[in-house]
């Protein structure tokens, strides 16, 4: 397993797109910077700024989209260059293959959110919108890591769909639908979709102003995510087994 992950890293050499995609982590902090700059306020509640820069669109749109793109890149490239038949006869176990990909997605997600957190701090403290204090930064970093981990799990369905398909167009569409569904389902029922579950978990205790739910049911959110995760792994294993 360790070997597989190591190899996954080797495969990513000279992939510039990977680095370029990390730039997306700056998008929301930058917009937050512009927005609050426009409002011309100083000494904003830190959580409010972070809600804009990290817990909002980053969580709902950008990160899932980037992770979906990454999954498709990781898997579709190998498919396109006909690597799989060479890997199977090594042999590489199909579950191991799937999880090594997932592990890369997970690590990438962590990197992305750490950068996002750093950018949020930079764009808030330097223009002096938010007073610099360790407490709020620790809170931000902690929540960002949570988002990173959870979103990686939320990307499992996309990964599974990509693994089961030869092309990249269908998985791409599924990714988009998946993300927008998350966006629209949240107001209706927060426990149906992994992405909305994440927002439930993140905003627990009313820490994030604005998305605080009436009665957050954390176990249910975790349970929903688990169901989605297990279902995706099962789908991946079955389709990988069938496809040769």
Question: In the chain, where does DSSP find H-type helix?
Answer: 2-11, 16-22, 27-39, 46-50, 57, 63-80, 84-88, 94-125, 134-154, 156-164, 169-185, 194-202, 218-242
Stretch that binds other proteins, among 62-70, 83-91, 113-121, 182-190 (CB under 8 A): 83-91
Regarding 227 and contact with other proteins (CB under 8 A), the answer is no
Regarding 92 and contact with other proteins (CB under 8 A), the answer is yes
Which long-range contacts link 232-237 to residues 24+ away (Cβ below 8 Å)? 232/156, 232/157, 232/159, 232/160, 233/98, 233/156, 233/160, 235/157, 235/160, 235/161, 235/164, 236/98, 236/159, 236/160, 236/163, 236/164, 237/94, 237/95, 237/98
Task: Name the residue nearer to other proteins (CB basis): 1 or 131.
Answer: 1
Closest approach of Cβ 180 to other proteins, in Å?
A: 32
Regarding 89 and contact with other proteins (CB under 8 A), the answer is yes
Task: Name the residue nearer to other proteins (CB basis): 30 or 103.
Answer: 103
Task: Name the residue nearer to other proteins (CB basis): 69 or 147.
Answer: 69
Stretch that binds other proteins, among 11-19, 65-73, 189-197, 232-240 (CB under 8 A): 11-19
Closest approach of Cβ 239 to other proteins, in Å?
A: 14
Regarding 82 and contact with other proteins (CB under 8 A), the answer is yes
Regarding 19 and contact with other proteins (CB under 8 A), the answer is no
The contacts of residue 176 (CB under 8 Å, 6+ apart) are 65
Q: Which residues bind other proteins (CB under 8 A)?
A: 3-4, 6-7, 10-11, 13-15, 77-78, 81-83, 85-92, 244
């Amino acid at each position: 397993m360790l070997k597989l992950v190591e190899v996954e890293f080797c495969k990513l050499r000279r992939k510039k797109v990977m680095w370029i995609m990390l730039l997306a982590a700056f998008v929301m902090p930058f917009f937050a910077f512009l927005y609050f700059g426009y409002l011309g306020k100083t000494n904003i509640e830190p959580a409010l700024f972070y809600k804009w820069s990290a817990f909002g669109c980053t969580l709902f749109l950008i990160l899932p989209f980037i992770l979906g793109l990454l999954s498709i890149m990781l898997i579709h490239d190998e498919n396109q260059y006909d690597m799989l038949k060479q890997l199977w006869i090594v042999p590489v176990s199909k579950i191991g293959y799937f999880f090594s990909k997932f592990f890369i997605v997970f690590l990438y997600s962590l990197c992305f959110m750490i950068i996002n957190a750093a950018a949020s701090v930079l764009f808030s403290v330097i223009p002096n919108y938010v007073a610099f204090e360790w407490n709020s930064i620790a809170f931000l970093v902690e929540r960002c890591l949570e988002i990173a981990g959870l979103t990686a799990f939320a990307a499992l369905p996309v990964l599974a769909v990509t693994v089961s398909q030869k092309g990249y167009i269908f998985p791409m569409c599924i990714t988009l639908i998946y993300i927008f569904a998350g966006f629209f389902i949240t107001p209706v029922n927060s426990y149906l979709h992994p992405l909305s579950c994440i927002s439930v978990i993140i905003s627990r205790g009313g820490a994030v102003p604005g998305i605080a739910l009436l009665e957050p049911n954390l176990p249910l959110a975790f349970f929903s995510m688990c169901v989605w995760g297990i279902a995706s792994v099962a789908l991946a294993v079955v389709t990988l087994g069938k496809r040769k």
